[in-house]
Amino acid sequence: MTFTEDEIAFRDSIRRMVARHVAPIAAEIDETDRFPTELVRLFGEMGLMQLWVPEKYGGPEGNLTMMCIAREEVSRVSPACGSIAGLNTMFIMPLLHFGTEEQRQRFLPVVAQGGVVTAIAISEPQAGSDVSAMTTRAVRDGDSYVINGRKQWCSYGVEAEYIVLMARTEGERGADGISAFVIEPKRMKGITFGRHERKMGWRGAPNTPIFLDNVRVPAENLIGEEGKGFRASLRALDLNRPTIGAQCVGLAQGALDACVEYAKERRQFKRAIADFQGVQFMLADMAMNIEAARALVYECARAGDRSDWQRLNVLASMAKCFASDMAMKATTDAVQVFGGYGYTKDYPVERWMRDAKLAQIFEGTNQIQRVVIARDLLAA
């Protein structure tokens, strides 16, 4: 992958920061499942959390390529911490593409200051891959909407100042009738949170159910047209999926680097295991697949930077699906290279394997991504 001089300088600055601030705490965050607030402050100061806020609103005005670079580099040691880079993207995108100028002037300068946690709430207990089955409802009442329902798998929602929330404003089923709202969980009455999900991996990135009981939201917090929120969520997902692919490339690269170092040091039968062709082939396959995934991720990022929405849609599914499948295979092989030690928590490869599994599921399961790809192929 060829980067510009500015992109290389950006990458190298993040790489230095990761070595100093993220690598020393990555294992502890996985062990304790705590949300690393110190990284929120640091990433905010560096402009990483609010990377996509335009300069006119006080932000760095980054792009999708920079987002992928940031997430790849942090994810080499911790994909959970990698999610904090560009964390506010899913909140920013619906406002930029579908919100009013008044909404952008109201929310984006606050996010641009850094250190503000935001989230997006789409999924529900019975509406995961099938978003059209959403039942959380918003009813117009004068100059407000009253929202009732429940959201599931809202990453960072329990920590968020602002959440873009999808709710049904008309109909009982289907994509039409879903609207997008900005809610403020720390200031609006009727919003409560359930128990933190106890996840196998991606620990330190909280997922907590949200319960909405007669939550009154001002009408000016409606993003775009009523009933068009599903379109806003699709655009946000298309722009975020390649960054998930970048995280998978990062964690797989971290696993490969660890394997190469370990294979040179570990000795069996009076030889380093790196001398055995079986191990060499595993490392070679990991390296080839990582480079292939990286090329696909950044081709997708370039399409996003060109606003090539039609190409982005299918490339986003390809990048997320291929990279996460690759990461699962690479980290499984990494555990094998480490042998019995790979199965212990004394080494990081088992953590990366657990993290890789989630990437095949969230932001749209890989089965759904294949449906999107096939649909595009057969549409001609």
Question: Are 81 and 22 a contacting pair, CB within 8 Å?
Answer: yes
- Residue showing tokens 């932000």: 59
Q: 29 with 68: CB under 8 angstroms?
A: no
d(CA 146, CA 218): 9
Residue 200 one-letter amino acid: M
Tens of pLDDT, residue by residue over 62-113, are: 999 999 999 999 999 999 999 999 999 999 999 999 999 999 999 999 999 9
pLDDT of 276 higher than 90: yes
Tell me the catalytic residues. Answer: 363
| pLDDT at site 150 | 97
Q: Tell me which H or E stretch contains 113.
A: none
Question: pTM of the full predicted structure?
Answer: 0.94
**How many CB atoms within 10 Å of residue 240?**
21
H or E segment to which residue 141 belongs: strand 137-141
Query: Coil, strand or helix: which one is 260?
Result: helix
Query: DSSP of 3-30, one letter per residue?
Result: --HHHHHHHHHHHHHIIIIIGGGHHHHH
Residue 230 reports pLDDT greater than 90: no
pLDDT, average across residues 173-189:
92
Cα radius of gyration (the chain):
21
Q: Rounded CA gap, 7 and 28, in Å?
A: 30
For residue 181, give the 3-state DSSP assignment: strand
Query: How would residue 380 be classed by pLDDT, with cut points 50, 70 and 90?
Result: low
- Considering the chain, what is the average pLDDT of its residues? 95
Average pLDDT over residues 324-350: 97
Q: Distance (Å, rounded) from C-alpha 318 to C-alpha 297?
A: 8
pLDDT, one tens digit per residue, over 252-268 is 999 999 999 999 999 99
* Alpha-carbon span 89 to 236, nearest angstrom: 8
